[in-house]
Amino acid sequence: MTIRDDVEIHPTSYQRNGSPLAGLPISTRYLWEVDDTETDADKYPIRTIFQLFYPMVENDPSIILSKEQRKAAYAISQCKTGGVGFTGSYCEHCGKVIIHNASCNNRNCPNCQSIEEKIWVKTRKAETIEGITYHHSVCTIPSELYPIALANKGIVYNLMLKCAPDSIVSICRRKFGFTPGVISVFHSWKSDLGFHPHVHLASTDAGLTADKKFINPETKVLESGEHFLFAGSVLAEVFKNSFMSALNAEYDAGHLKIPSPEACEGRNLLDPFQWMDFSNMLYNKKWVAYSKETFNDHGDAIEYFGRYTHRTAITNNRIISVVLDEEHPEGEVKFWYRDYKNNSEHAIRTVTGKAFVQMFLVHVLPTDFTRIRYSGILANAVKAKNLQLIAELTSSIYAVSVFAGKTVSQALPYLIPNYKEHTCPCCGGSIKQLGRLFNEDLIIRQKKPLAG
């Protein structure tokens, strides 16, 4: 553990109502350390990139940022630096108080998603149905719609997350007579940080009929040995019709912001006739929706799909180098990505630091947008009731997850092995978590310089 020398506990914190430090023994007041381990720039290079290059983006008058993008940029640059606060832990044996830099907990931050992902996976595993397969599908929209999507993120993203699972539910009801369970996750990026909105879907290959009978139909078998209920081309067609019908309704209601003709390949989409031609072109175009892995084990399905649920546009381990010097006044960032047009081989992309920040911020989600959703028999309103019924019909066991309704701090004892055995680094005594420390609890003598 490295120690910060610019932070100390305010003497009044031990008496102030509401402080996590209130009530601690007098003997502990001068036994404190500040853990500075997580300010290491090499450990969180994306944070370093935002610290160095976000001011260039923010101060450029030609770049318009939303409040969500500004909030995300600030959170990422300050995450685990002490800039968004601290948390404390207290040794009940020797009285040592250890202050930790707090995480920003912003859902767009690549430093803060691992615990939430683990909680999600553990919770969903308790909701899986034994003895059935789970299927992974992906729905996308054509590139001609990207300008509309960028100008109307909330509307377009919500339509995609509604129409994609509804398409799977519709196909299963029409072809097989049952309602499946579907988990949907929205992503907006390609591996190289380009814009590519799409929806990942994990759906059950079994479900409940209208009269509450459980059906587990025989799936088709491809020459490759894969099992599936319907082809990707069928899903693409149903999704296209559903999405375009909903998008046209939004246009007719005047809810869409229409980009300039330059952004729309010369089309003036404010003109209803040109919009109609544009819509007809998209209806006649072949859309892409494809089926990926089918999981014969429900546990493997959730573990695999969990990789998609809390993923951000890029992770720290993909950053190769960050440079800011006289030769690179706007900085230089190198990162690797998978080139799916070249057998998923690793490739390297080099951009300016300013461009990297701009590319990342494109993928910041709108406020109040829920990127993980549940449909069919797994819809939140009926999930518990349906899973209990299926357990009874299949003579299996359904038990509510121990993680249900728990906060991150409440879930930690169940996630970290031997959590209760974590001991004080000084004396080996048991550690008690104090929670978030307020500004009034600490004295900041000087600001920590930006990593670079």
Residues 149, 20 share a domain:
no
Find the mean pLDDT for residues 270-277.
97
Residues 273, 152 share a domain:
yes
HSE-up of residue 304 (Cα within 13 Å, Cβ side): 17
pLDDT for residue 62? 94
Task: Give the three-class secondary structure for 151.
Answer: helix
The answer to whether position 68 is within a domain reads yes
The answer to whether position 340 is within a domain reads no
How many separate domains does the chain show? 2
Contact yes or no for 103/111 (Cβ under 8 A): yes
The answer to whether position 351 is within a domain reads no
pLDDT at 2 over 80: no
pLDDT at 134 over 70: yes
The answer to whether position 238 is within a domain reads yes
Residues 149, 37 share a domain:
no
Instruction: Read off the tokens for 170.
Output: 């519709």
Residues 6+ apart with CB under 8 A from 14: 21, 22, 23, 24, 26, 29
pLDDT for residue 25? 59
Find the mean pLDDT for residues 181-185.
95
Find the mean pLDDT for residues 184-204.
94
Instruction: Read off the tokens for 379.
Output: 């819809």
pLDDT at 138 over 70: yes
The DSSP code sequence of 384-445 is HHHHHHHHHHTT------TTTT--HHHHHHHHSTTGGG-B-TTT-PBEEEEEEEPGGGEEE-
pLDDT for residue 36? 57
Residues 172, 96 share a domain:
no
The answer to whether position 180 is within a domain reads yes
Confidence of residue 145 (pLDDT cuts 50, 70, 90): very high
pLDDT at 14 over 60: no
Residues 157, 52 share a domain:
no
Residues 159, 248 share a domain:
yes
pLDDT for residue 89? 80
**Nearest of 338, 324, 337, 333 to residue 46 by alpha carbon:** 333
Find the mean pLDDT for residues 248-277.
96
pLDDT for residue 294? 66
Confidence of residue 216 (pLDDT cuts 50, 70, 90): confident
pLDDT at 450 over 50: no
Residues 411, 386 share a domain:
no
Least confident range from 119-128, 132-141, 280-289, 411-420: namely: 411-420
**Which residue has better confidence, 121 or 39?**
121
Distance separating alpha carbons of residues 247 and 268, to the nearest angstrom: 17
pLDDT for residue 443? 59
Find the mean pLDDT for residues 230-237.
89
What are the tens digits of pLDDT across the range 364-422?
999 999 999 999 999 999 999 999 999 999 888 887 777 777 776 677 666 666 555 56
Residues 387, 243 share a domain:
yes
Residues 440, 380 share a domain:
no
What are the tens digits of pLDDT across the range 46-93?
999 999 999 999 999 999 999 999 999 999 999 988 888 888 787 777
pLDDT for residue 403? 73
Instruction: Read off the tokens for 127.
Output: 């909701």
The answer to whether position 417 is within a domain reads yes
Q: What is the pTM of this model?
A: 0.86
pLDDT at 32 over 90: no
Output the average pLDDT for the chain: 84
pLDDT for residue 40? 62
pLDDT for residue 444? 56
pLDDT at 19 over 70: no
Amino acid found at 140: T
pLDDT at 451 over 50: no
pLDDT at 15 over 70: no
pLDDT for residue 296? 54
The answer to whether position 337 is within a domain reads no
pLDDT at 29 over 70: no
Domain of residue 242 covers 127-309+369-393
Residues 431, 380 share a domain:
no
Residues 271, 187 share a domain:
yes
Instruction: Read off the tokens for 332.
Output: 């230089």
**Nearest of 132, 191, 163, 223 to residue 346 by alpha carbon:** 191
Amino acid found at 143: S
Confidence of residue 452 (pLDDT cuts 50, 70, 90): very low
pLDDT at 198 over 90: yes
The answer to whether position 141 is within a domain reads yes
Distance separating alpha carbons of residues 257 and 152, to the nearest angstrom: 6
pLDDT for residue 379? 95
Residues 268, 139 share a domain:
yes
